Amino acid sequence: MKLAIVITSDPRGGEEPLGRVFNALALAAEAQGHQDQVEVLFVGAGTRWPAELSKLGHPVAALYGQVREQIVGASAGCAAVFGATSGVEQCGLPSLTDHPLPGTPGLASLRRYLVEGWQTLVF
């Protein structure tokens, strides 16, 4: 299976977004365990998550570390809009720019996953 997991939830939104990111990364771990092809990416306000998940003691930090190899990056344009560029860079994640959009440094292409037949889930 080819599975794209897109995380858009904002870590500033309380418990509900925490549940979303937890379940997204738990699904990535399950897919990883079944040798599925899985890619996790952060877009929109979700680009704020990597900096949060990298903090020692965060309740989802261990799970984030477990699936780190499946995380392909964060949308550069979204990170710029949501003030998350430095956090993404500090975490060592690639900035995704494969969808050029005027006035931005480029966005992550979600269409690519659909065209290539990936199961695509948004959290």
Domains in the chain: boundaries: 2-122
**pTM confidence score:** 0.95
Structure tokens at 66: 């477990």
Q: Residues 94-97: contacts with CB within 8 Å, 24+ apart? A: 96/41, 96/72
Containing 92, the helix (H) or strand (E) segment is none
- Please state, in angstroms and rounded to a whole number, the distance separating the CA atoms of residues 105 and 39: 21
**pLDDT tens digits, 1-32:** 999 999 999 999 899 999 999 999 999 999 99
Angle at 5 between CA 18 and CA 48, to 5 degrees: 45
Q: What pLDDT was estimated at residue 74?
A: 98
**pLDDT tens digits, 55-86:** 999 999 999 999 999 999 999 999 999 999 99
CATH code for the structural domain at 2-122: 3.40.1260.10
